[in-house]
């Protein structure tokens, strides 16, 4: 009787895993197909706004700008859903990764935003990782974007650091800004959760959720703590 129950439960688990895979696959395909028409709608709204120069078209320009903002927000949400679905479906390809080079690439992509904010960056020497390079890049990119959003608009200090621990490497991205209260440090890693800073309102609230998903798949942990000089330090670990 016990063997039959084990077989039944095993079959049910396999059924749920297949259903979950189908749902994740659908989310990825749907998000991918939605991005292109949203980009086109956003672009044409911008074009029409530029064409309406006369004063009598002020109301039409305002309406088109509102449409553009709404579509841009929907596009950001769709792209975030797509990234999360891909982070779940992407098979892990572990190899030795030069995290120094990986972070340098992330910062190159974010260079215009960093320059516009006149950020002061400190990047320490980072230990190598045994990880999936593409997914690990997503973690650092999301944490750096998060740091930029929370930091002061001008002259913010952002530090990227890490250390080689006995159980594996530990990395962090530290930034200025309001320290996250103790009772919110778990919630912000849930999907569609945002911090209280109004500049994060344009995001979909999936960046930190994606980070937790990727780090968890690697067998690591992620969290946030107060920074050394205030602000917040987002950290994560990876196994050796």
Most confident of 10-19, 85-94, 192-201: 85-94
d(CA 122, CA 129): 20
Do 61 and 121 fall into the same domain? no
Place of tokens 């703590």: 225
> What are the Cα distances from residue 206, in Å, to 49, 141, 201?
30, 13, 12
Provide the pLDDT confidence category of residue 210 given band limits of 50, 70 and 90.
confident
Total number of domains in the chain: 2
| C-beta contacts of 25-32 below 8 A and 24+ residues apart | 25/85, 25/89, 27/81, 27/82, 27/84, 27/85, 28/82, 28/85, 28/86, 28/89, 31/78, 31/79, 31/81, 31/82, 31/85, 32/82
Q: Is the pTM of this model over 0.85?
A: no
pLDDT(181) > 90: no
Whether residue 12 is found in the same domain as residue 123 = no
Task: Report the candidate in 94, 106, 88 with the shortest Cα–Cα distance to residue 209.
Answer: 88
Among 44-53, 82-91, 157-166, the minimum mean pLDDT is found in 82-91
Residue 130 dihedral angles phi and psi, to the nearest 5° = -100, 95
Whether residues 81 and 118 fall in one domain: no
pLDDT at 79: 64
Find where tokens 């920074």 sit: 227
Q: Are residues 115 and 201 in the same domain?
A: yes
Residues 72 and 101 in one domain: no
Comparison of pLDDT for 182 and 159, the residue scoring more? 159
Structural domain range at position 11: 2-89
At residue 174, φ and ψ (nearest 5 deg) are: -115, 140
Of 89, 123, 158, the last residue of a domain is: 89
Distance CA 191, CA 206 (A): 5
The residue that leads in pLDDT, 66 or 103, is 103
Tell me: do 39 and 137 sit in the same domain. no
Q: Is residue 26 very low, low, confident or very high in pLDDT (cuts 50, 70, 90)?
A: low
- CATH number of the domain bearing residue 200: 3.30.565.10
pLDDT-wise least confident of 37-41, 181-185, 209-213: 37-41
The pLDDT confidence band at residue 200, using thresholds 50, 70 and 90, is very low
């Amino acid at each position: 009787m016990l063997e039959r129950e084990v077989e039944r439960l095993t079959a049910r688990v396999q059924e749920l895993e297949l259903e979950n895979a189908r749902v994740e696959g659908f989310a990825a395909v749907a998000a991918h197909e939605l991005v292109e028409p949203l980009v086109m709608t956003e672009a044409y709204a911008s074009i029409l706004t530029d064409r309406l120069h006369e004063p009598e078209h002020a109301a039409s320009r305002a309406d088109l700008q509102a449409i553009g903002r709404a579509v841009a927000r929907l596009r950001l949400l769709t792209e975030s859903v797509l990234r999360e679905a891909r982070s779940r479906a992407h098979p892990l390809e572990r190899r030795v990764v030069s995290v120094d080079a990986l972070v340098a690439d992330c910062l190159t992509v974010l260079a215009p935003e960093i320059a516009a904010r006149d950020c002061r960056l400190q990047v320490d020497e980072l230990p190598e990782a045994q990880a999936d390079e593409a997914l690990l890049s997503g973690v650092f990119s999301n944490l750096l974007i998060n740091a930029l959003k929370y930091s002061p608009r001008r002259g913010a200090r952002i530090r990227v650091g890490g250390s080689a621990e006995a159980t594996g490497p530990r990395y962090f991205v530290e930034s200025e800004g309001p320290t996250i209260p103790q009772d919110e440090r778990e919630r912000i890693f849930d999907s569609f959760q945002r911090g209280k800073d109004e500049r994060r309102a344009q995001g979909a609230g999936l960046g930190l959720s994606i980070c937790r998903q990727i780090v968890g798949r690697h067998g690591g942990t992620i969290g946030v703590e107060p920074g050394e000089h205030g602000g917040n330090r987002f950290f994560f670990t990876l196994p050796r």
